[in-house]
Structure 1
């Protein structure tokens, strides 16, 4: 084969190779990235800077905690160590409700260490030895739902059985008129955590919230019931 023919064949082969490789390169650059579809968790509301500061000392952020199970999130917050112990078997080996919480969705009101410090020492000691009392206390701080600080208010039936009264919204929320939410709406997997400054008492449930409006359906039903004519007496004989 002469030299011009060899050169022509070489050029043809190079062009063919280039035509095959170009679409592959374009396709590779056109593939979408998965990071663009990941949404950051919603920011909690309230005085959350102290929480961020204490997490920073452990090299953790709220965004890193957001996809984790609720038990792990609570355990990662130093100021909630007593509550974490109370729900995980640390305070009383017979009481571990973390597996229940991690099958949420739940709203969890988590008292701080300072909140537990306000309890009578005898009461706290009783929780260490009375599994029923501790379980009752733990479940009174939990109700079903996945509610943000903007819509958590209402009369809420807890997992313990008694109700909670949650009032306010965003950065100004109270529970049972006694506990203030310090930082609320902290994201965990299948849960929202609200840090509170007072331990809630299941033996002192709140008075029902006065309804702000009356249901038309309920009113109509009640009226129909109260104004319905009495049945006619059966004929004699």
Structure 2
């Protein structure tokens, strides 16, 4: 019995000492002495520094974001790939509005051409104005193309009798118009070569830059972007074999 009581007393003493030690540790951490104040100041400084670094990271633009913005701005410039000795004349004649370089970029190709005062005869030809049986507007607006677009002066060089005969023959007119259309979009750097047209015949494009030749027609201004096509305005009307007047 005495042995058990002594053991119990010893355990109670050890427990009391442990509780006193824990209480002392708790009081030291929460005291207002210089040691406690120093810890608080360090914590506040670290929090402030972290906040400033976080704000700096949020306010800065990552390199990838900057490149994407630059690339997008380059793609949005419709005059970036223009080529041709008469592009400046085109810009002077149509400096703004739907028929300008910037304006044409907003519409599909048949619609864009209809707004360009240099392409009125071509517009009449593809929209049923020359022959009501020949209306290619939906076709041209419905896919991606490279369009070789004779300017009005090119049609004016065709004898009136021949032009009237072409307009009265819907099959011949369709053959000529679709000979000016190549599936897919091609930039000035990749357009040289032989290309099968929507007509089925092959058009030959030679040279580079301002010296590009489209069969026997020269370049007026090319690389003009529309919503679905790349346009090359040319100074002659191309005739596929068998339709030459």
TM-score range (shorter-chain normalised) is 0.5 to 0.7
Alignment TM-score, normalising by the size of structure 1: 0.68
Q: 1:70 to 1:60 in 2, by over 3 A?
A: closer
CA shift, 1:58, in A, is 5.1
Q: What secondary structure, in the 3-state scheme, does the structure 1 residue paired with 2:186 have?
A: coil
Please tell me whether residue 64 in structure 1 is matched to residue 64 in structure 2: no
Corresponding residue number in structure 1 for 2:124: 85
The answer to whether the 8 Å contact 1:54/1:77 transfers is no
Count of residue correspondences: 182
SS in 2 for 1:192: strand
Structure 2 counterpart SS, 1:181 = strand
Greater Cα radius of gyration, structure 1 or 2:
2
**Larger % of helix: which?**
2
Partner of 1:103: 142
1:77, distance to aligned residue in structure 2 (A): 1.3
Unaligned runs of 5+ in 1: 1-25, 206-237
2-side partners of 1:152 and 1:124: how far apart? 28
Q: Is the contact between residue 106 and residue 190 of structure 1 (CA under 8 Å) also seen in structure 2? A: yes
Tell me what 1:201 maps to: 239
Match of 1:181 in 2: 219
Match of 2:181 in 1: 142
SS at match of 2:233: strand
Counterpart Cα distance in 2 of 1:109 and 1:142: 6
SS at structure 1 position matched to 2:125: helix
SS of aligned partner of 1:85: helix
Q: For the Cα contact (< 8 Å) 2:83–2:209, is it kept in 1?
A: yes
Q: Is the CA contact 2:82–2:222 (under 8 Å) kept in the aligned structure 1? A: yes
Task: Please give the secondary structure, in 2, of the residue aligned with 1:79.
Answer: coil
Structure 1: distance between partners of 2:166 and 2:115 = 23
CA change 1:149–1:122 in 2 (3 A) is: same
Quick one: which of 152, 160, 167 aligns to 1:128? 167
CA contact 1:92–1:127 (8 Å) conserved in 2? no
Contact 1:149/1:171 (8 A) holds in 2: no
How far does the alpha carbon of each residue in 1:86-110 deviate from its partner, in whole angstroms, 9 at most, with x for none?
A: 1111111111112111122111111
**So what's the TM-score if we normalise by structure 2?**
0.66
CA distance in 2, matches of 1:83, 1:201: 14
Q: CA RMSD in A?
A: 2.8
